[in-house]
Amino acid sequence: MTAFAKAERRDGESSGIDPLAVFESFASSSAAYLKPADQGLLRSAYQCAEAAHAGQYRASGEPYITHPIAVAELLTRWHLDAHALSAALLHDVVEDTGISSAELAARFGDKVADLVEGVSKLDKIHFASREQAQAENFRKMLLAMSRDVRVILIKLADRLHNMRTLGAVKPEKARRVSAETLDIYAPIARRLGLATLVDELEDLSFRHLYPDRYRVLDAELHKMRGRRREALQRLSDAVGGRLADYGVEAEVSGREKTLYSIYRKMADKHVSFSQVMDIYGLRVVVRDAPTCYLALGALHSLYKPIHGKFKDYIAIPKANGYQSLHTTLFGPFGNPVEIQIRTQEMHRFAETGVASHWLYRKPESALSDIQLSTTRWLQNLLETQIDSPDAGEFLEQLKVDLFPGEVYVFTPKGRILALPRGATAVDFAYAVHSDIGDRCIAARINDELAPLRTELKNGDRVEIVTAATASPNPRWLSFVVSGKARQHIRHFLRTLKFEESVDLGERLLDQALHAFHHHVGEISARQWQHIAHQLNLGGRDELLVEIGTGKRQALEVARQLLRIDEAAGALTNLGAITVHDREGGAIEYASCCQPVPGDPIIGLIDRGRGLVVHTHDCAAVRRKRRRTDASRWVDVEWDAQMAGLFTVTVRVTAAHKPGVLATLARAIAEAETNISGVSVDEADTGSAYTTVLFTIEVANRVQLASVLRNLRKLPEVVRLARARNSQA
């Protein structure tokens, strides 16, 4: 019986709850394992919290202090220490009252104050959106959690009690809180191995998100319990008997799927409730790991196993440390039955995960792999959030890393890596080491060469091929799924863009200074410092980035540097900027006209995008010039040593007959040109002619001309042109 139930019983028919009675009951029962000195700390924390929350009430009408007591009581299930229980009692005082963290530290010590600070939200800071506030709260929580995992245990207990009492708030808020719980808190609890907590959080969220579906499934499950109770008992007796025949001592118990897991299976598999065959299963608990495999053999001799439905999480534990054997058998009534086989220690850990350290009081030297695994996972999340300036981006990466589906693959040395479902060879490369990811160019999967975008499957053996000169490709962002891979690729691209923006800004400024018969090398450190201070910037590089990204005009900065009045003399010819191909950098090649080396070109300094290069005859240029400041247009020219491949789209109209696509592709290939995309204009369906759009990669205009010549020679071709998109 909980402290609340006892307090309400004393109160009789009264609708009120006596907070002190609730606390006394909690301290003497649930927290009875604490030492007398620790009980004193707990009592002081209660007195402080009760005074701080005096006059505050929850939406249900109960005194607010009942919530912190309930959170602390939930933590006693894991036998957390007095510091954690005290922090639970005080977890809202910084956020909701006038008490500061410094006051808490002075009164209760740094440990309690740090735990409270880690759990507290950032409500006093203004954020642009609810999403940004949510992301910043998770950043702070994860940082505190990396120092002390008790922070997240308190936060999860806080969320569980809020979910249990969600019926008192408005339905709209209840749905929002439930969605957040399913997206973030339940997956975090799962990642920490807190299975019992996960089940309750998910079912409560399901109840408030989809109340009608919840009621229908709950009623159906209640009916099924009555129908299947006898069958499950017969199955349990048969399993227990076969294990005894093999000399295996075991505890056999029934196991029922939660309502939310049933709902997810129905939604994912597009099946009805009656078609979900594994609602009930059995759990077999034995004395040690070798006996698990002996029990598996005994059960496979009793009922036939279903092919492909066996998982050995003992040899290859889940990322959260979970261990067990899972097998699905054809049961005595023709229905599949999943059986989990594990040791007593594995079972305890499966229920309590990272909290088992406190519950079973293991010495530090005996910490299981879950502690180390959790630390590594947190470090990866922290690496992700450090370089994610955009709150939405960080939250997206966090949700991906919390996604429960996992694929297990092997390194060449036999090490097992757990990756998110859908992970590719690039995700694997970054999981091994960030340097391997940055320099990967190909992969060998099961000893066969494969593209980097290849999706990995359970059991794949992966070896990454690297090159010293290789670097991350922006296209990788379209297929990588792990937060670590996305973070490193984005970091590289941001760094590259910063460096190139500095370079482009310097060239644009030098061009502007030449108009006044100066050059950038003449600008002294004092001049740079003065103008940076004047413009409220950090220094020379920040100013050059602002110019390179189009946020400031080079001519204006040149005048300010030289202290020249805008009306002082006419400008001479500014000259041309030389452009280089740097994918993902500060120079962008317009998609509307797709310029290639050899084309006459012009540049537009676009705010936030940097230098955008167009062809002179681009229709978008003619349109934009009428409404864009003339100072933003600059003459540009190709670097004589231009290298790299440029994308061009060629529109070909040809006779509609068998083999014409192969003929066109052969002509393009003869010019040593790669085809990266093909599409057919559906408007030509049923016509004697068909229009095909080829996206090809060429080094320059000469190679493009060679492609066009080869196509013109074909008798099937009736019309040919470079495709232009004037709307881009």
Any idea which residues carry the catalytic annotation?
95-96
Is residue 432 within 8 Å of 411, Cβ to Cβ? yes
Q: What angle do CA 648, 652, 654 make, to 5 degrees?
A: 165
Is residue 75 within 8 Å of 84, Cβ to Cβ? yes
Task: Calculate the CA dihedral of residues 367, 368, 371, 374 and round it to 10 degrees.
Answer: 180
What are φ and ψ of residue 660, in 5° steps?
-65, -35
- Residue 655's DSSP bridge partners are 689
- Residue 606's DSSP bridge partners are 610
Burial 119-136 (b: 16+ CB within 10 A, else e): bbbeeeeeeeeeebbbbb
Which tokens go with 182? 């399913």
Handedness of CA 532, 537, 543, 547 (dihedral sign): negative
Burial 677-706 (b: 16+ CB within 10 A, else e): eeeeeeeeeeeebbbbebbbbbbbbebbeb
Is residue 181 within 8 Å of 205, Cβ to Cβ? yes
CA atoms within 13 A on the CB side of 57: 8
**Look-up of token digits 């909980």:** 2
CA atoms within 13 A on the CB side of 565: 3
Q: What is the rounded CA–CA span in Å between residue 684 and residue 651?
A: 13
Q: What is the rounded CA–CA span in Å between residue 74 and residue 91?
A: 14
Terminal Cα-to-Cα distance of the chain (whole angstroms): 68
Instruction: Tell me which H or E stretch contains 509.
Output: helix 483-514
Nearest to 675 by CA among 707, 702, 705, 720: 707
Q: What is the rounded CA–CA span in Å between residue 621 and residue 613?
A: 10
Is residue 214 within 8 Å of 166, Cβ to Cβ? no
Task: Measure Cα distances from 398 to 402, 483, 484, 491 in Å.
Answer: 6, 7, 10, 16
**3-state percent breakdown (helix, strand, coil) of the chain, nearest 5:** 50, 15, 30
Largest CA distance in the chain: 104
Handedness of CA 55, 61, 62, 64 (dihedral sign): negative
Nearest to 318 by CA among 192, 209, 138: 192
Sequence-distant (6+) residues with CB within 8 A of 247 are none
Is residue 436 within 8 Å of 220, Cβ to Cβ? no
Is residue 285 within 8 Å of 250, Cβ to Cβ? yes
Sheet of strand 633-638: strand arrangement = 576-579, 633-638, 601-606, 610-615, 587-589
Crossing angle, helix 701-712 and helix 660-669, to 10 degrees? 140
